Chains A and B, each alone.
Chain A
Amino acid sequence: MAFESLSEKLQKTFKKLRGRGKLSEKDIKDAMREVKLALLEADVNFKVVKEFIRNVSERSVGAEVMESLTPAQQIIKIVNEELIAVMGGSEQKINISSKPPTVIMMAGLQGAGKTTTTAKLGGLLKKQGKRPLLCACDVYRPAAVKQLQVVGEKLDLPVFSIEGSRDAVDIAKKGLAHAAKHSNDVLIIDVAGRLHIDEELMDELRRIKAAVEPDEILLVVDAMTGQDAVNVAEAFNNELDISGVVLTKLDSDTRGGAALSVRAVTQKPIKFCGMGEKLTDLEVFHPDRMASRILGMGDMLSLIEKAESALDAKRAEELEKKLREQKFTFGDFLEQMDQMKNMGSMSQILSMIPGVNAKALQNANIDESRMVKIEAIIKSMTARERDCADKLTPSRRARIAAGSGTDISDVNSLVKQFEQMQKMMKQLSGGMGKLGRFGRKGRMGFPF
């Protein structure tokens, strides 16, 4: 049995709920059983799940839901609210010290993605006008220092290291002095990955903390972590009193239940999430969006925010209208593709849309390099063809293929895909209406 996403699972459950006018206590119990299973399969820790279910059930069973006019809506609202509550309300920013340099220290298990996150965070802060210095304190893993130097160079960020030194505390201290001297207003300290039960290395972290007094201690957690996430988070938090969490590898198809677990046991906010291999793929974590993503509402808000920064708002409006009227053309498609290049990978964007599940995406087989081909093909069309005013006859297709240096089969497959896409959009724009009923701010600002 293949895995269903948590979203799918909950959607299915709620579909069952939607079908009825009134809910019995048994219905709620059934729904909660499904929610429980889904959360467990999403790797949310067993105890966290229990607590969550208890809270939601308590709020659901009883007058609040029973007397409500649309009980299903009520339950969705409660589940969503509880998810947001567990993951920590509003979004969080980095603590910037009033007295620079602001010191940020990383911590986490081996392979969680500390070094990559250090670089990504440095890049992000640099974009915000800061002058970060990266500090290489992983003196254990072979070539870890070198790795930080390479990624630092790629982002044009200075990296402080002491060759041959095995004293992480000393490096951190000197890194801080170096930052102060060279007017770097942020110091980000990368450390070696370690097991939370390794007392010696946990002590090293404590000593680094004491030496540089960080404004921010970020625990880096792999989003694919299972039940053990609570133990890891608890241990690091107990030792270091962390200030926040970075959830990495969220671009995998994991359901990311660790987010809930970690948050529940540490009560510390998840501040960022790693979304890809590129050094720019670090995003601010939005608990409400994660909750809506878990609930199958898609990360609609993230999508809109992304689209807004990259897209001309007016064009977006026009496109939205076209989409609604199903007048989307090859020309629009081309324009969209251009704008999308600024927004991240196509699969990344598609995955944020409600109803588009990861499995369907895999079958869609979105190959970024194909986009180049598609662009060439559309650019080889006449203006009328791009407007879908002329039907693409075989001879036209042959001409387009020759013009774009592709095969007719490429042209054919694009046309077919395009038609499928039109169909999909039709469904999507229909589906949005339904979501709207649940009071989501789900305005469709983007035609995918």
Chain B
Amino acid sequence: MGVFGKLKESLSKTRESINEKFENVVKSFVKIDDDLFDELEEMLIMSDVGVNTSVYIVDELRNAAKEKRLTDSGELREELRTILTDILQVDEEEKLALSGKPAVIMVIGVNGVGKTTSIGKIANMYKKEGKNVIIAAADTFRAAAIEQLEVWADRAGVNIIKQSEGSDPAAVIFDAINAAKARGADVLLCDTAGRLHNKKNLMEELKKIYRILNRELPDSSKEVLLVLDATTGQNAVEQARLFKDAADITGIVLTKLDGTAKGGIVFAIKNDYNIPVKLVGLGEGIDDIAEFSAEEFVDAIIGNEE
């Protein structure tokens, strides 16, 4: 896929602000001292990495600096790059993987993070690869969510299985499974209604949908993608924790990275729950999605000397 130029470009705003900041921080310290570490910690907190994770990262950096006897602030940057990249590194077997017929991708998350838009982009991505994609419109709650998804299905040129607004989402999923089987679809993409993770009954509904997918398609791979808005702060960790209880999250789609938000919260989530970021959303266009790369993401955050 390698649309990383795009990621870089889209992250340029992010990059400018942090990169400049980093440059300033690093430049003003020729030698490494405590103040520099404090500044770096502050910088990470400002990127939504969170207090605990920022402290953890800076401690690692401090230890590494001591161990490797780093004296130059430039070396320190490379060390920080390594630490950050290591945290987010996605192993080969953790990459978005589809097997079985149909392979299942379910998209979940709180309201307004960009689930439906992401579904549209993912559908387009696989359609372009020549796959037969079916979308299940299981957000039956929000007004006009189905219509919105229909527009995306249309743009991507894929089929959509829907019922009327207010119908049982589990029933839509069940229908879609049968349709996918009957039509020999390669990928079944399930949209779900946005729900706040602290709403017990809505999370139960999600469990039910997930149960049905597992029961009806035991041999298919299931990618459960938690969509996170890069603008979100520390609450994203709670979102990951509680959605993880409802369905086995296999990855994160980090959306709205074309803004100024840094999305640093993914460090905390990877660190705490080992959930990898798999895709990033970079705009409202149908092609504005890319496979996640830790190197690119970290480069975009702390800059790259080249």
Contacts and interface: CB of A to CB of B under 8 A. Distances in A.
A111 B227 CA distance: 12
B112 A252 contact: no
B196 A251 contact: yes
Contact of B234 (A3, A45, A251): A3
Interface in B230-275: 231-238, 241, 256, 258-262, 265
A368 B202 CA distance: 11
Contacts of B234: 3, 41-43, 226, 255
B114 A111 contact: yes
Interface stretch (B45-53, B210-218, B295-303): B45-53
Given A37-B51, A109-B256, A228-B259, A151 B143 contact: yes
B235 A254 contact: yes
Interface residues of A, number: 54
Interface string B195-230: 011101100000000000000000000000000010
Nearest to B165: A150
B238 to A, nearest CB: 6
Contact of A113 (B112, B235, B258): B112
B23 interface: no
B200 A252 contact: no
Contact of A150 (B52, B143, B256, B261): B143
B201 to A, nearest CB: 6
Interface in A136-158: 140-144, 146-147, 149-151, 154
Nearest to A46: B46
- Chain B interface, >50% SS class: loop
Given A111-B111, A227-B46, A249-B110, A257 B200 contact: no
Given A42-B234, A112-B112, A197-B259, A142 B148 contact: yes
B200 A365 contact: yes
Contact of A228 (B50, B236, B237, B260): B260
A221 to B, nearest CB: 10
Interface in B148-167: 148, 150-152, 165
B284 interface: yes
Contact of B233 (A37, A141, A257, A358): A257
Contacts of B262: 227-228
Given A109-B231, A111-B112, 17 more contacts: A46-B42, A110-B284, A140-B284, A142-B152, A147-B145, A154-B143, A196-B260, A225-B231, A226-B236, A227-B48, A227-B261, A232-B259, A249-B111, A253-B197, A253-B238, A254-B235, A362-B198
